[in-house]
């Protein structure tokens, strides 16, 4: 259930980008059972990591704090509508609900007059297009190689995992 205090915290985190070099104004918090268990701000530039979005950083922080990769039952509050990368991470982690402030259109309008060099390097439209398609239908050229060897390792790993249960 939505809680304004958690949204205000996500926005407060995003505002830190006004003072912290190498961050961008995208903040997020993960909430479980009415308390914040993870926080994140976009650190893509300072970390030299294009996946270091506010949402993914909050997911990483929550997983470390809870000592799990299973965030089922958690909610994510974000200062901006998450991109496809972050939505994928949220689904992988098991986030139960998303609440966001600015949407993609509002974010786009806010940065529309920035010089190209200062713009966020994410092409949101392309990301959304690519993530929803089979590998053979994507714009990025892709080829499969050495699938027998890779599949064998996956099968061996799965057998080990079954034996440990």
Catalytic pick among 55, 57, 75, 81: 55
List for the chain the helix, strand, coil content (%; round to 5).
Answer: 50, 20, 35
Residue 125 phi, psi dihedral angles, 5° rounding: -65, -45
Find, among 3, 69, 55, the residue nearest to 24 by Cα: 55
* Whether residue 55 lies in the annotated active site: yes
Q: Give CB contacts under 8 A, 24+ apart, made by 103-111.
A: 104/80, 107/80, 107/81
Active-site amino acid positions: 55
């Amino acid at each position: 259930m939505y809680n304004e205090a958690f949204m205000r915290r996500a926005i407060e985190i995003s505002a830190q980008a006004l003072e912290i070099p190498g961050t961008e104004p995208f903040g997020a918090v993960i909430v479980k059972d009415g308390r914040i268990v993870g926080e994140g701000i976009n650190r893509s530039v300072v970390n030299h990591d294009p996946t270091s979005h506010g949402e993914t950083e909050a997911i990483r922080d929550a997983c470390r704090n809870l000592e799990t990769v299973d965030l089922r039952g958690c909610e994510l509050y974000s200062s901006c509508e998450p991109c496809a990368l972050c939505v994928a991470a949220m689904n992988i982690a098991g986030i139960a609900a998303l609440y966001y402030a600015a949407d993609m259109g509002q974010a786009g309008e806010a940065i529309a007059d920035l010089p190209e060099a200062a713009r966020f390097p994410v092409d949101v439209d392309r990301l959304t297009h690519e993530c929803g398609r089979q590998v053979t239908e994507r714009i990025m050229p892709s080829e499969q190689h050495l699938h027998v060897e890779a599949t064998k390792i996956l099968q061996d790993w799965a057998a080990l995992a079954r034996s440990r249960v």
